[in-house]
A and B are shown apart, each in its own frame.
Chain A
Amino acid sequence: MAASGQVMSFRSSITIIASPRPRVGKTLLARLLTDFHLHESRSIAAFDLNAGEQTLAQFLPEKTTIATIRDINGQMALFDRLIADEDTTKVIDLGHESFESFFTVADQIGFVEEARRRSVAVAILFVVTPDQTSVEGYRRLRDRFARATLAPVHNEIFGPAQYRDKYPLTSGGPVMVRLPALAPGLRRYIETPPFSFAGSYMGDAPGIALDAHIELQRWLRRIYLEFRELDLRILLADLQSSIQLGS
Chain B
Amino acid sequence: MARPAVILVGADKGGVGKTTVARTLIDYFGAHQTPIRAFDTEAPRGTLKRFHPEVTEVVDVTSVSDQMKIFDTLGSAEAKVTVIDVRAGLLSPTLQALTEIGFLESAKKGQITFAVFHILGPSIASLEEIAETARVVGDANYFLVKNFINNTTFFEWDPATYNSYFKKIKGAEEITIPKLNEMACEQVEVASVPFVSFVGNKGAKGEAANYSFVLRGYVRHWLGNVWGEFDRVKLVDLVSPKMESNVRQVAG
Contacts and interface: CB of A to CB of B under 8 A. Distances in A.
A80 interface: yes
Interface string A66-109: 00000011011001100100000000000000000000010011
A156 interface: no
Interface stretch (B124-132, B134-142, B217-225): B217-225
B213 interface: yes
Contacts of A83: 213
Nearest to B216: A109
A172 to B, nearest CB: 27
B220 A76 contact: no
Nearest to A110: B217
Contact of B212 (A76, A105, A108, A111): A76
Nearest to A117: B252
B73 interface: no
B217 A108 contact: yes
Interface residues of B, number: 13
A114 interface: yes
Question: DSSP majority for the A interface?
Answer: helix
A114 B48 CA distance: 30
Nearest to B220: A110
Interface of B: 181-184, 212-218, 220-221
21 contacts: A72-B183, A72-B214, A72-B215, A73-B183, A76-B212, A76-B214, A79-B213, A80-B213, A80-B214, A83-B213, A108-B217, A108-B218, A109-B213, A109-B214, A109-B218, A109-B220, A109-B221, A110-B217, A110-B220, A111-B217, A114-B217
A68 to B, nearest CB: 13
B181 A114 contact: no
Interface string A221-246: 00000000000000000000000000
Contacts of A79: 213-214, 217
A75 B216 CA distance: 12
Nearest to B211: A80
B57 to A, nearest CB: 35
Given A72-B181, A79-B214, A108-B218, 10 more contacts: A72-B182, A72-B183, A72-B214, A75-B214, A76-B212, A76-B215, A80-B212, A80-B214, A109-B216, A109-B221
A119 to B, nearest CB: 15
A110 B181 CA distance: 16
Which of A73, A75, A105 has its CB near the most chain B CB atoms (within 10 A)? Answer: A75
Contacts of B214: 72, 75-76, 79-80, 105, 109
Contacts of A105: 214
A88 to B, nearest CB: 16
A114 B213 CA distance: 9
A180 B220 CA distance: 43
Contacts of A111: 217
Contacts of A75: 214
Nearest to A71: B183
Contacts of B216: 109
A145 to B, nearest CB: 14
Contacts of B218: 108-109
Which of B181, B184, B217 has its CB near the most chain A CB atoms (within 10 A)? Answer: B217
Contacts of A80: 212-214
Contacts of B183: 72-73
A174 B149 CA distance: 42
A108 B221 contact: yes
B97 to A, nearest CB: 43
Nearest to B221: A108
A75 B221 CA distance: 15
A83 B211 CA distance: 13
Interface string A106-149: 00111100100000000000000000000000000000000000
A183 B214 CA distance: 43
A70 to B, nearest CB: 13
Contacts of A73: 183
A111 B220 CA distance: 12
